[in-house]
Structure formats: C-alpha cells, structure tokens
Amino acid sequence: MKIFIKTYGCQMNERDSEALGALFSAQGDELVSDEKSADVLLFNTCSVRDAAERKAKGKIGFMRKLKKEKPHLIIGVLGCMAQRLGDELLAELPHLDFVLGTGQIHKAPEVVAQLRAERSRLALTEPFPEEVEMLGAHGESSWSGQIAITRGCNRFCSYCIVPYVRGREVSRSQESILLEAQSMVDNGVREILLLGQNVAAYGLNGDIRPPADDHSPFAELLEKLNEIPGLLRIRYTSPYVSYFNKRLIDALSSCSKVCHNIHLPLQSGSNTILKAMNRQYTAESYLEKVAQLRAAMPDLTFSTDVIVGFPGETEEDFLRTRALMNEVGFEQAFIFKYSPRPGAKSAELEDSIPEEVKLERNNILLDDLKARISAKLETLKGSVVEVLVEGVSNRNAARWTGRTGTNFVVHFEPDENCTPGTLRKVEVSRSGGVSLFGRLLPEDK
C-alpha cells in the first residue's frame, strides 16, 4: 500500500507522524509524498487554534474529489482534532473513513487493514496511557532525531485545549528513553530533541507543584543522555518556567551536550492576564528565573510563545508584555492571536479583543522581534561559532547551513570534509535577515 501522511501543528505531532510512518513501513508499506498516488491518506491534526482546525478541515474536504475518482482510497483523520471532534468529524465529512484520537494513533495500520477488508467507518477516541511506549518507532535516521519523553499536560492553562485532547501528563521510564536514544545514536543520530508539553516536569508523576530545589528527574535524564558517546547535542522543548530549580540549572550548565537555548513560553507579561490564564508565575518571577539561568550560562539564548488579545487584555497589559519581551531580549518568539477553544476554560469568557487590535499587537511584537534579532546578529559579527552541520542550504545550493547551540542558523561555503551531523567552526562575517553568514574554518586536528 502507498501511504500519504500530512501533519499539522507541533513537534509532538511531527514525532507521532514519524512513528506512524515507521509502523506502516515496518509492515512493508511505502510512504509517499504525493496524495494522488496514495491508497491511504492520513491527516495528523492540531486543535490548538481554530485556524489549525479550519486548515486541516479545508484540506480534508478537498480530498472528496480524489475519493470519487478512486473509490478504494481510505482517508483517516488522527491526532488532536480527531480527539476533540470524534464522531462529529465523520458526520461532517462524508468521504472520511476513520477517526483516531491521540491515544489511538498506533492502531492506524490495524484499522486500515480492517477497513480494506470490510468497508465501514469508525471513530476511536479512548485515551490510552500505554500510548506513551507504543509510539516509539523511528523512521529513516538522519543526523537529528526526536524522542517524546512525556505526553499530555496537567497544567490546564485556561486558553489551552491540550490537556483535554492529549490527556493527563505521563512520563516514560528513564530506561526506555535511554534505550531509544542509544539506538538512535547507533543509527547515526547526532542531535536529539526531547519533546513534551512540559518537559521539565518529566518524572514528577503529574504533580503540578514544582519540586524542591534539589529534585529534578529531568536533570537526571539529561545527565544520563549527556554520557552517550557519539551524541553531540541535546535540545528540549517546551519547559514551563517554574520547573527550573537549582538542580536543573546546575545540570544544564554542567552537561556539555545540552544546548544553551531555551524555549520558555511567557504567554503574557501582565500579572493580571497571567492569572486569568492560570499560569503559575508572575512577570517578576519569570524575569528572576531568566536571570538565574543567565547567571549560570551567560551565552544562553531564549525563545518564547506569547498570546495577544486574551479576553480583557488592556493596552496596559499589552505594553507590559511588550516591555518584558524587550527586557528579556528573546532571540526568537512565536506570537499568537488569542483563539477561543471550545472546552477550554477561557472559552467561557467573551472573546473581547477585536481582531484588528489582536493583529496590531501581533505586528508590534513582531517588529520589535525583528529589530532585536538583527541587533543580536550584528553583535556576533567577527566571532567564531561552533555549528552542527545540517546540509545544503535550501536557499542557495552553493552554500551549506549549520546551527549554533544557541540556535542561530549560519550559512557558509562547504569544504570537502563537510558532512551533516558534524561539529565545525565558522567565522561569522555578516548577518542577513534572521541568519548569519561566515567562513568555514579548517577542521581541528
């Protein structure tokens, strides 16, 4: 069979799709990138904002024509939107064959086989904690790979649908993560990205109270991964600010392979809005954590997520967010316009901020970000940075790209020893847009 998989949303979905593809490949199916040649179309969906759902529904709706031409075609919707809407999706999209929620994704090969034998329709949305171990398969290895270390979320931020569609937070065992990491490294992986909705809460058994200063199972995991020979870099996303205790900060600064870049969702710089969002920190305590982290790792860079236009967000609230973002000096940021999610707590509040105000606030923060990034890149001119080589640049075939541990992309002309997944030094000569350009230095002998 030829299987087409289209993924929407976050890196966790990308990871699930990779595992899903690997399950089909393992039984001899072929993964294809063109929907017209496929026998099975799978859409792994996102529910985090309304736009993400509309986009997926639009695309799936469009597949009706293909199904008319190829009646044997099987179409399935998986993941977060599948979990949220279940049977409703079958009713809304008559050409859809099946729906598998976030805890049922691993059943896709079995369900496809069943539907090919007896044409019917089904929706499965039961939660499956075992899912945590079940989606451990990996596709073709490259120099980088991802491991889901936790699933679900217990934090219930008031705007967020994730705890409802991905269920309660479950951590995998350290042993199974280390085995997975070792086998990836044996297959050539040099950089591992650890994934979870709240990675720094790893191993805390779903307790939402941040642990005592000397306790961090996530720190222990990083230390163990740091010892794997052949692994060059460890990244992680996303941590919640309150879990960076002394134990974790010490581990981050002592583990040489752990990258000095943190994606630290802020959401808002106004204490009133943070409270309404059910975020368990204040602007002041967030800044304090950033200061502690920077004191331990002066070259640390930060990225963040921010929501503009949360119900009741005044101009003053917004200006606090703006000021705080500039104070931290985030090197990267993802700005989202608030989107009420039916089922999440804040959907009960009136979506009071007009779309044009959301857009205006969004654009102001993006302009600030642009200015900050170019100023930051300027400061790197003339310095020598270490990059993990990624491969040929997709903008200019004569150049290659690499990424610094602090997450800056650097373009350079390759030499004959240039190989993806190796560490090299580059002397930065100029900055352009959101990346750097430089001269590759000869390999260290």
Query: Which amino acid belongs to residue 113?
Result: A
Block residue for tokens 């599948």: 82
Give dist(CA 260, CA 79) in Å, integer.
Answer: 31
| Contact (CB, 8 A) for 266 and 286 | yes
**Upper half-sphere CA count for residue 124 (Cβ side, 13 Å):** 15
The nearest distance, CB 403 to ligand SF4, in angstroms, is 25
Maximum pairwise Cα distance, the chain: 66
CA angle (18 as vertex; 37, 15 as ends), nearest 5: 140
Residue 222 in contact with ligand 5AD, rule: CB under 6 A? no
The nearest distance, CB 255 to ligand 5AD, in angstroms, is 25
Residue 236 in contact with ligand SF4, rule: CB under 6 A? no
Q: Which among ligand 5AD, ligand SF4, none contacts residue 388 (Cβ within 5 to 8 A by kind)?
A: none
Q: Which among ligand 5AD, ligand SF4, none contacts residue 276 (Cβ within 5 to 8 A by kind)?
A: none
Q: Which among ligand 5AD, ligand SF4, none contacts residue 197 (Cβ within 5 to 8 A by kind)?
A: ligand SF4
Can you tell me which of 14, 29, 35, 305 binds ligand 5AD, judged by CB under 6 A? 305
Residue 321 in contact with ligand 5AD, rule: CB under 6 A? no
Query: Which amino acid belongs to residue 243?
Result: Y
The nearest distance, CB 48 to ligand 5AD, in angstroms, is 5
Please give the order of strands across the beta sheet that includes 122-124.
Answer: 30-32, 2-7, 40-45, 74-79, 98-100, 122-124
Can you tell me which of 338, 400, 408, 412 binds ligand 5AD, judged by CB under 6 A? 338
Residue 240 in contact with ligand SF4, rule: CB under 6 A? yes
Residue 67 in contact with ligand SF4, rule: CB under 6 A? no
Q: Pick the closer one to ligand 5AD by CB: 113 or 366.
A: 366
State the SS3 of 389-402: EEEECCCCCCCEEE
What is the distance, to the nearest Å, from the Cα of residue 339 to the centroid of all Cα atoms in its chain?
19
Contacts of 151 by beta carbon, 8 Å cutoff, 6+ apart = 12, 131, 132, 166, 167, 169, 170, 196, 197
Q: Pick the closer one to ligand SF4 by CB: 143 or 281.
A: 281
Q: Which among ligand 5AD, ligand SF4, none contacts residue 243 (Cβ within 5 to 8 A by kind)?
A: none
B/e letters for 60-84, b = 16+ CB within 10 Å, e = fewer, are beebeeebeeeeebbbbbbbbbbbb
Can you tell me which of 12, 23, 38, 48 binds ligand 5AD, judged by CB under 6 A? 48
Residues 106-145 as x/- pattern, contact with ligand SF4 by CB under 6 A:
----------------------------------------
Of 137-196, which residues contact ligand SF4 (CB under 6 A)? 153, 155-157, 160, 162-163
Can you tell me which of 150, 237, 261, 339 binds ligand 5AD, judged by CB under 6 A? 339
The nearest distance, CB 395 to ligand SF4, in angstroms, is 32
Q: Pick the closer one to ligand SF4 by CB: 346 or 401.
A: 346
3-class DSSP state for residue 7? strand
The nearest distance, CB 157 to ligand SF4, in angstroms, is 3
Q: Which among ligand 5AD, ligand SF4, none contacts residue 45 (Cβ within 5 to 8 A by kind)?
A: none
Can you tell me which of 3, 78, 184, 307 binds ligand 5AD, judged by CB under 6 A? 307
Residue 9 in contact with ligand 5AD, rule: CB under 6 A? no
What is the distance, to the nearest Å, from the Cα of residue 439 to the centroid of all Cα atoms in its chain?
31
Q: Pick the closer one to ligand 5AD by CB: 123 or 344.
A: 344
- N-term to C-term CA, the chain: 49
Query: Residue 210 has what DSSP assignment?
Result: P
Q: Which among ligand SF4, ligand 5AD, none contacts residue 164 (Cβ within 5 to 8 A by kind)?
A: none
Contacts of 28 by beta carbon, 8 Å cutoff, 6+ apart = none
**435 prior amide bond cis, ω within 30:** no
Question: Which tokens in the block code for residue 103?
Answer: 């805890």
Residue 339 in contact with ligand SF4, rule: CB under 6 A? no
Residue 49 in contact with ligand 5AD, rule: CB under 6 A? yes
Q: What is the DSSP string of 87-107?
A: HHHHHH-TT--EEE-TTTGGG
Provide the binding-site residues for ligand 5AD, judged by CB under 6 A: 48-49, 159-160, 265, 267, 305, 307, 336, 338-339, 341
Question: Applying CB under 6 A, which residues contact ligand SF4?
Answer: 153, 155-157, 160, 162-163, 197-198, 240
